[in-house]
Amino acid sequence: MSLQRGQAWSKARSLSRADVSFLTRPVGGQEAEWVSFDEVERRGIAPVAAQVMMRPCKKLRYRGGKTVPVFLFDGTILTPVQDLLLLFRIDRVPPERYDATPLFRRASGASFTTDYVREVVRFLMHSVGLAPELYGGHSLRIGGASAALAANVSEAVIRAMGRWDSDVYELYLRYSLTCARQMGSVIASTSFEDFEAMFDHEEFVRS
């Protein structure tokens, strides 16, 4: 979603407006389909999901094209589909310029940078009374991964959604009250047999 220091925006590798499409609802026997924002506006439809084409994990940077679809659905707390629609409506761009326009950009037209995202996150944390120095760009990954963990999402899905190709995703997981409540309930509600106590053990000591 943002550029590293010294990195130049490229429509082949960076996110652009052309990378976003929306899923329609099946109506009158017609199947759901992925359409552009302009088609959403023309038909006056309310999409049920969004799709963003991204590159694979960081270690596959040799693959220049965007080959990985990331699917977004609205929830009760976050509404990424509605937020993307709002972005397209407020910061309008001619369709012919979609592939040359950063998906997320500043008023100057320049793409978001990691430094800017970090500043925004810290500003928001400060505005709600939290210590801004404890937060940064990776807080967004931590929040997403930890929410998935609290919802009992499988490790494989967490890795795939975060585009991690190793167990490094574990660095982003945080223990939460939701996790503690679920685990405590499981422990307090599960009976088991002590398998080890069912056998006699002999210790073999080499003399």
Q: What is the pTM of this model?
A: 0.79
**pLDDT bucket at 90, cuts 50 / 70 / 90:** very high
Q: What integer is the mean pLDDT of 22-35?
A: 88
> How does residue 61 score in pLDDT terms, banded at 50, 70 and 90?
low
| Among candidate residues 172, 137, 139, 163, the one with its CA nearest the CA of residue 5 | 137
The mean pLDDT value for 8-31 works out to 90
Structure tokens at 85: 């629609």
- Across 34-43, 65-74, 84-93, 190-199, least confident range: 190-199
- Section 197-205 average pLDDT: 63
CA distance 75 to 36: 22
CB 176 within 8 A of CB 146: yes
Cα–Cα distance between 51 and 53 in angstroms, integer?
A: 7
pLDDT at 201: 61
- Look up residue 146 and give its two tokens: 């930890």
Report, as an integer, the average pLDDT of 98-124. 96
In this predicted structure, what is the pLDDT of residue 200?
Answer: 64
**pLDDT for the residue numbered 183:** 84
Question: What is the pLDDT averaged over residues 13-41?
Answer: 91
Residues 106-126: what's their mean pLDDT?
Answer: 95
pLDDT at 165: 76
pLDDT bucket at 136, cuts 50 / 70 / 90: very high
pLDDT above 60: residue 43: yes
**Residue that is written with structure tokens 């047999």 in the block:** 193
Local confidence band at 49 (pLDDT 50, 70, 90 cut-offs) = very high
